[in-house]
Structure 1
Amino acid sequence: MKLYLDENLSPRLAVLLRGRGIDAASTHEVGNAGLDDRAQLRYAAREGRVLVTANIVDFVALAEEAVAANAAHAGIVLIPATFRLDEFGVLADAIERVAWRYPAGIADIVLVLSRQDPA
């Protein structure tokens, strides 16, 4: 699974994930800081990357729009408010579980990140 971290996540998280063998890029690293959410999702889809974000409201709406328009995306992982965005190790652990559970990706699926590995 290839990941694309939204602008609200630190590029440090992408570095940490790459250190764990996960293909991760951040909005900041690829020069997309400041693009609107729709453009971020389009970029992720073009690159075949699952978009990871804490911006739940906007990206749920965009996922619903994509379904209505029969438009594909590479998947979205939502980070709920139960996570602090500066808990890099905790976030990396949870994201890593998703990446290894779905190595082929989650095209057109929206997942909510969990602190615990589901049974």
Structure 2
Amino acid sequence: MKYYLDEDLSPKIAEILQQGGIDAVSAHVAGMLQASDLEQLEFASSQKRCFVTRNRNDFIRLTVQFFNESRPHFGVLIIPYSYPGDRFSLIADAIRKYDSGHTEGMSSYSIDFL
């Protein structure tokens, strides 16, 4: 599975994932800082990437919108606030474990929580 990390997550998390062989890109590196939530999800979808964020409410709403409009969507993975934002390795390890249990990727329009 390929991942696109929202700007609310440190780009260091994507770097750690990449070092472990996981295809992950951050909004910071992709030049998508300050893009709207809609633009972020559109970008992730255009790259066939699961969108990873802490922003639960907005991306649940956008996922419903994408479903209703039959727009491409490759899943949203929510990182709960119980994962401290400055614990980059902890978050990366959790994503890595999630990835190993989802070798076929996420279903279209699915939302999951770490």
TM-score of the superposition, structure 1-length normalised? 0.90
Once residues 13 and 32 of structure 1 are traced to their aligned partners in structure 2, the CA distance between those partners, rounded to angstroms, is 16
CA contact (8 A) 2:17 2:92 kept: yes
Q: What is aligned with 1:64?
A: 64
Write out per-residue CA displacement over residues 4-61 of structure 1, whole angstroms, 9 at most, x where no aligned residue.
0001011111000101110000000011111100000000001011100001111111
Q: What is aligned with 1:116?
A: none
Aligned length: 113
Q: What is aligned with 1:5?
A: 5
Once residues 65 and 81 of structure 1 are traced to their aligned partners in structure 2, the CA distance between those partners, rounded to angstroms, is 24
Once residues 30 and 68 of structure 1 are traced to their aligned partners in structure 2, the CA distance between those partners, rounded to angstroms, is 27
Once residues 46 and 27 of structure 1 are traced to their aligned partners in structure 2, the CA distance between those partners, rounded to angstroms, is 14
For residue 8 of structure 2, give the secondary structure of its aligned residue in structure 1: coil
Q: What is aligned with 1:82?
A: 82
Give the letter aligned to residue 95 of structure 2. Answer: I
Q: What is aligned with 1:31?
A: 31
Q: What RMSD over aligned residues (CA atoms) do the two structures have, in Å? A: 1.0
Once residues 103 and 37 of structure 1 are traced to their aligned partners in structure 2, the CA distance between those partners, rounded to angstroms, is 27
Q: What is aligned with 2:110?
A: 109
| Unpaired runs of at least 5, structure 1 | 114-119
Q: What is aligned with 1:93?
A: 93
Once residues 103 and 8 of structure 1 are traced to their aligned partners in structure 2, the CA distance between those partners, rounded to angstroms, is 25
Once residues 70 and 18 of structure 1 are traced to their aligned partners in structure 2, the CA distance between those partners, rounded to angstroms, is 31
Once residues 80 and 57 of structure 1 are traced to their aligned partners in structure 2, the CA distance between those partners, rounded to angstroms, is 12
For residue 95 of structure 2, give the secondary structure of its aligned residue in structure 1: helix
Aligned-residue sequence identity (percent) comes to 36
Greater shift, 51-60 or 81-90, is seen at 81-90
Once residues 82 and 9 of structure 2 are traced to their aligned partners in structure 1, the CA distance between those partners, rounded to angstroms, is 15
CA contact (8 A) 2:9 2:53 kept: yes
| Unpaired runs of at least 5, structure 2 | none
TM-score of the superposition, structure 2-length normalised? 0.93
